[in-house]
A and B are shown apart, each in its own frame.
Chain A
Amino acid sequence: LAKTTQPISMDSYEGQEVNITCSHNNIATNDYITWYQQFPSQGPRFIIQGYKTKVTNEVASLFIPADRKSSTLSLPRVSLSDTAVYYCLVGDMRDPGGYNKLIFGAGTRLAVHP
């Protein structure tokens, strides 16, 4: 399984764009990159997933370079409510067993200040 490395913590201010980078040097050909958000005492929540290039949805963008050894989650104009832990996961969504053995890395604690 591909191991991921993220910054332990980041600080930002309301209205700024936040970019969180995840390293996954031994990503496999079939692996997808998925990001989750977790608030205290709640379960993680899916944010975005991608395989290559750029993916955008209503809450975030995910940038993946051609070598796929890293990825960057971009949160535009953060607010106080974006204060959370962000996890980058790498795994094969087409596991023959039909399930996902997704292992969480340490995550990045994002603190958004007024």
Chain B
Amino acid sequence: DTEVTQTPKHLVMGMTNKKSLKCEQHMGHRAMYWYKQKAKKPPELMFVYSYEKLSINESVPSRFSPECPNSSLLNLHLHALQPEDSALYLCASSQEGQGNTGELFFGEGSRLTVL
């Protein structure tokens, strides 16, 4: 299984809603990532989890709250978002330690629209 699965594929929410994006991988990877991608722009790194611990937070606003319940799952909790937060949210995973080839495995993304 070489897949990273993201749900939902599409999400529309109001600025007062609370929603979550979910990501799952069963490749035994111990690093997981959230990227945000606006139209015609490159993916921007948001968070990195290493061994279920938050390792990198790229100065992301607190209305985005990541969670890594176990080594296979990564969530992104959304609350009080703004219309400019509308984007494609990509989850990725990679191996750790000596098995680390540097290859990131990406999911298909969750397309978020904030009204």
Contact = CB atoms under 8 A, between A and B. Distances in A.
Answer whether A and B are interacting partners: yes
Interface residues of A, number: 25
A42 B108 contact: yes
Contacts, number: 69
Contacts of A94: 100
A98 interface: yes
B69 to A, nearest CB: 18
B103 to A, nearest CB: 5
B31 A41 contact: no
A43 interface: yes
Interface in B81-115: 88, 90, 92, 94, 96-97, 100-109, 111
Interface stretch (A15-23, A61-69, A73-81, A104-112): A104-112
The SS class assigned to the A binding surface is loop
B4 to A, nearest CB: 7
A103 B109 contact: no
B106 A44 contact: yes
B8 to A, nearest CB: 14
Contacts of A49: 101-103
Interface residues of B, number: 30
B96 A34 contact: no
Given A43-B92, A87-B42, A101 B56 contact: yes
A102 interface: yes
The winner among B42, B55, B90, B100 for most chain A CB atoms within 10 A is: B42
A97 B100 CA distance: 11
A99 B96 contact: yes
A32 B43 CA distance: 19
The winner among B88, B102, B103, B105 for most chain A CB atoms within 10 A is: B102
Interface of A: 32, 34, 36, 41-46, 49, 87, 91, 93-94, 97-107
Interface of B: 4, 30-31, 35, 42-45, 48, 50-51, 55-56, 88, 90, 92, 94, 96-97, 100-109, 111
Sorted from nearest, which 3 A-B pairs have the closest CB atoms?
A: A43-B106, A93-B102, A104-B42
